[in-house]
Amino acid sequence: MMQKENVLITYKDPERVKILEKMIKETVEKIGRSLRIMEFCGGHTHTIMKYGIDQILKGFIYFVHGPGCPVCVLPMQRVDLAIELAKQKDVILCTYGDVLRVPGSNRKSLLNLKAEGSDVRMFYSCLDAIKVAQNNPDKQVIFFAIGFETTTPQTALLILKAKDLGLKNLSVVSNHVITPAAIQHILNAPEVREVGSIDIDGFIGPGHVSTIIGTRPYEYFAEEFLKPVVISGFEPLDIMISVYMIAKQIEKRKAFVENQYVRFVTREGNIKAQKLVAEVFELRKEFEWRGLGIIPYSALKIKKKYSDFDAEERFKVEVPPPKEHPACICGKVIRGVALPFECRLFGKVCTPSNPYGSCMVSSEGACAAYYNYRGTILNEDTLSVPSV
């Protein structure tokens, strides 16, 4: 226990942070302009905001907040689908906690539906669905699966176990999405009329996702788009080291993948988990991401040989086009072209206890981070974007 505490203290050591601050600023001064770095993962966003890293490096580094987490990028139409499935007779719909609070059309959520009497349950582990199905043989149990590559292996394992047990009343809605496809989309689409665009000098790559897929998938972006990618841990010192590594690459006019999170991430990733996913899932031709639109080959669907456990095949439910709140700018926040403070709803009618958009719902959402660590007062200096 003492050893673990010492490690955490090391990764939060303020003196080391100050040393790295000086090193980063000296490097950026040599480059001659401020840098724009996108952190893809909401866990990184919360570390940056909680410890004031954006303020420490203000004027030198501008953090562009990316998609954040699977809850943030879940399109409203999929939320509406979950709600319609939960309304079906003799259905128990199960999912992870934050999904329950994401508003669908007309601001209705799964949590609202639960309050109205529908059997909607929150899980910490998707494997809990097996016990629920076994204990309720007269009900159809649907697990509404969501996640980047981090949680996909567990869903694959759920389906394999359900097949081994011969469960006929358990099925899955797959909303699993693929991180590299989103990064490629952001880099491939610099001009998007609906939400604007922003230049990105480098990426802080997601740590948890990379424990599964490794660093290899990011090599293409560095080579093709000449953008540095550094896979980072989640402590303050992790972030500072990763920013420094990106800045040094740019100073040297280099662009490659570096792994700062070496204590958990390897180049090849978790091969066993990858094989598990490949056994059960295959790529969808296209999938909609909130804020990013429809991205080809960016999500996973259940293979035909496991179609008996595909809820979208078992329940032919159609939902009308979603109705987004006209004032919500979650799409812009997810894409990194707007900050939460710029939303007219932020901190007024949209709060973590009364969310209008997914970015305020998710514990890793950018709006939740700003609300928790920056308050609700508009600060023009905070909103300023450094020029190229």
Intervals of the chain under pLDDT 50: 1-2, 4, 191-196, 378-388
Local structure of 372: helix, strand or coil: helix
Q: Which of 259, 287, 317, 331 is nearest to 179 (CA)?
A: 287
Give the model's pLDDT for residue 11. 76
| 214 and 355 together in one domain | no
Rounded-to-integer distance, Cα 175 and Cα 27, Å = 41
| 237 and 362 together in one domain | no
Pairing of strands 300-302, 281-283: antiparallel
Question: What would the pLDDT profile of 143-188 be if each residue is shown by its tens digit?
Answer: 999 999 999 999 999 999 999 999 999 999 999 999 988 888 887 7
- CA 376, 380, 382, 385 dihedral sign is positive
Give the model's pLDDT for residue 85. 96
DSSP annotation of 177: B
In a domain, residue 30? The reply is no
In a domain, residue 23? The reply is no
Rounded-to-integer distance, Cα 164 and Cα 158, Å = 10
**Number of structural domains in the chain:** 2
- CA 218, 241, 210, 208 dihedral sign is negative
Give the model's pLDDT for residue 196. 47
Give burial (CB, 10 Å; 0-12/13-18/19+) of 58: middle
Print the domain residue range for 56: 37-325
Q: Which of 291, 35, 272, 300 is nearest to 157 (CA)?
A: 272
Question: What would the pLDDT profile of 52-79 be if each residue is shown by its tens digit?
Answer: 999 999 999 999 998 888 899 999 999 9
| 65 and 206 together in one domain | yes
Rounded-to-integer distance, Cα 217 and Cα 198, Å = 23
Looking up residue 146, the CATH number of its domain turns out to be 3.40.50.11740
Give the model's pLDDT for residue 189. 60
In a domain, residue 13? The reply is no
| 262 and 366 together in one domain | no
| 214 and 176 together in one domain | yes
* Tokens describing residue 87: 């309304």
Give the model's pLDDT for residue 9. 59
| 277 and 348 together in one domain | no
